A and B are shown apart, each in its own frame.
Chain A
Amino acid sequence: MPAQPSPLRPPAAPVRPSPLGEPPLVRWALIAGALLFLGLFLVVPVAVVFATALSKGLAAYWGAIRDPEALHAIGLTLKVAAIVVPLNALFGLAAAWAIARFDFRGKSLLITLIDLPFAVSPVISGLIFVLLFGSHGLLGPWLLSRGVKVIFAVPGIVLATLFVTLPFVARELIPLMESQGSEEEEAAASLGASGWQTFFRVTLPNVRWGLLYGVILCNARAMGEFGAVSVVSGHIRGATNTLPLHVEILYNEYNFTSAFAVASLLTVLALVTLVAKALVEWRAQHHDLSGER
């Protein structure tokens, strides 16, 4: 159930030129069509972000980014990602070990459960935590009476982000480890390695590119999540505002240049993510796929 298309693709087979291809005119028309579509929907929006962000000059751009509220939002976003990504990476490793190395009943149900957050609307992802921890929620009043505030506070943001990004690392590692099989680990065990030694010396090096890939995607989503965080944050400026939320506030205040300046940071993050992703794909193809399989 690939709620997110699984990315690490095998290397492309060379396309054999043959007298069977389309005539050049058709070929170029198709390429032009694809370029137009991607241009209208992907390239123009990205260009708009940077053009608008810099429309009032570099000084205004810097001013918007160095605004204390923007700096606080950057800090909060980094903090949330720093908590969420390692936790979900750990979960992904544990789940992949349990699922790919052992046979048990209910395995496909478990995998479906892991995929579930991809199928849930971001707004609902936030809503379920409000229903649980909100002031009218199931556990909220009890927690509040003990001074623990989850909703409209940082813990809620962390929880919602954890939920939304939960599948990324796991669903990268499970198919990878399943395809690699457990022969190498069994060999290590037969040579006397302990469980942890096997894990750190055999398993981890074998899955490192897949793990990195999952972490990159998880991080991008953790920093960029909007809907779920929007529901639980309460938009308290300087307290529970992450970067995407800050963009929205600035935009709603008609402060377009600042909104786009902050948005440009997130766009750079997205572009860096794409480049990192391409590099990891390239490494994985030339490294893990060519040699050991």
Chain B
Amino acid sequence: MSIEVRDVVKRFGSFTALRGVSLAIPSGALVAFLGPSGSGKTTLLRIIAGLEAPDRGEVLFAGKNATDQRVQDRRVGFVFQHYALFRHMTVFENVAFGLRVRPRSERPPEAEIRRRVGELLKLVQLEGLGGRYPAQLSGGQRQRVALARALAIEPRVLLLDEPFGALDAKVRQELRRWLRRLHDELEITTVVVTHDQEEALEVADLVVVMNEGRIEQVGTPEEVYDRPVSPFVYHFLGSVNLFHGRLDRGVLRVGPLELAAPEHADAQDAPGTGYARPHDLVVERQPPEGTGLPAIVRNIHVVGPSVRLELWRRDTGEPVEAELSKDSFRELAIREGELVFVRPRNLRVFREAAPPSRAVTV
């Protein structure tokens, strides 16, 4: 079922969590809301669920206005960050809860409840653990109970708030791949809130990048990673190198470099910043004159199949990070302390001054 959000505003006291957010989620998609804490992603999710009422704006389910529908009537499957399992109930009773609280006329008979819960436990790979209490399960198992419980009501949409945030790295990776497969199997519209860019890029069809109560960019994982529309998205999704310079009639001048910025053809000697990912940098020992920025190699890290170079621009003293394949690193045969030249192969120029550089690492 499709979800639409129109111009939603939400304040908590003096804090504005959402500043007029509009978004359309197509039916059957798996969408990730990605952003730092305080960006409003969880608030947006809670408003879609009906756990929070918007101050302004509307929420539509399948084109029908659901803004004033009670959370009990929305049939949304919500998975909470810390699972929110009923700790005095067994796993079985947790999953059965949504069926048992239905009005008598709609409540399935006991045998049907048993069958459905059994099926769900099988689906989340927790067969045989129905008699346990939540405290007796591992974090990953609890997360799957929470998911089974949400699925028991046959929800029209599935909403997950930082579902894997409290788990360790390995379990997290397993679970999100499994969630992806589950989604493909069930074909239910799913929204995942996360602050982990890797998680968003790996699991989602569509990534919604949020910042300070606004949506920065909506796009496929490739789009938001390769073609960020704002410095924020660049910073938030992966590492990025900044090249400060002067922008004049479609050309950004950084030291001796002249870099093409055709989208800024109207600029007249304005400050501009070029953004380039570490793997979009070319590192050379002896480039043709005027095509590279001199830099000193400070550190070399071999990380699996690639090599990360920490460089230090000789002209400005700014740090630069480059990522090479092992092959090209071998060809270059450089050592720490040596002089190299760098040049961006692929970069995007923004006219406004860059935001204070936040430490963003891969």
Contact = CB atoms under 8 A, between A and B. Distances in A.
A43 to B, nearest CB: 33
A19 interface: yes
Interface residues of B, number: 6
A18 B50 CA distance: 9
Interface in A5-20: 18-20
Interface string A12-37: 00000011100000000000000000
A19 B54 CA distance: 10
B52 interface: yes
B353 interface: no
B71 interface: yes
Contacts of B70: 19
Interface string B141-178: 00000000000000000000000000000000000000
B53 interface: yes
Contacts of A18: 51-53
**Main DSSP-derived SS at the B contact region:** loop
Interface string B49-82: 0111100000000000000001100000000000
Contacts of A19: 50-53, 70-71
A148 to B, nearest CB: 58
Contacts of B51: 18-20
Contacts of B52: 18-19
Nearest to B72: A20
A17 to B, nearest CB: 9
A19 B70 CA distance: 8
A198 to B, nearest CB: 38
A19 B71 CA distance: 8
A255 B52 CA distance: 62
A18 B53 CA distance: 7
11 contacts: A18-B51, A18-B52, A18-B53, A19-B50, A19-B51, A19-B52, A19-B53, A19-B70, A19-B71, A20-B51, A20-B71
Given A19-B52, A20-B71, 9 more contacts: A18-B51, A18-B52, A18-B53, A19-B50, A19-B51, A19-B53, A19-B70, A19-B71, A20-B51
Interface in A153-181: none
Interface string B30-56: 000000000000000000001111000
Contacts of B71: 19-20
B279 to A, nearest CB: 43
Nearest to B70: A19
Interface string A103-124: 0000000000000000000000
Contacts of B53: 18-19
Smallest CB-CB A-B distances: 3 pairs: A19-B53, A18-B51, A18-B52
Contacts of A20: 51, 71
Interface string B67-107: 00011000000000000000000000000000000000000
A243 B269 CA distance: 90
B167 to A, nearest CB: 24
Nearest to B53: A19
A246 B51 CA distance: 59
A13 to B, nearest CB: 14
A252 to B, nearest CB: 51
A20 B52 CA distance: 9
A18 B52 CA distance: 6
A64 B184 CA distance: 86
A289 to B, nearest CB: 22
Nearest to A19: B53
A19 to B, nearest CB: 5
A153 B71 CA distance: 69
B73 to A, nearest CB: 12
A20 B70 CA distance: 9
A246 to B, nearest CB: 51
A15 to B, nearest CB: 12
A19 B53 CA distance: 7
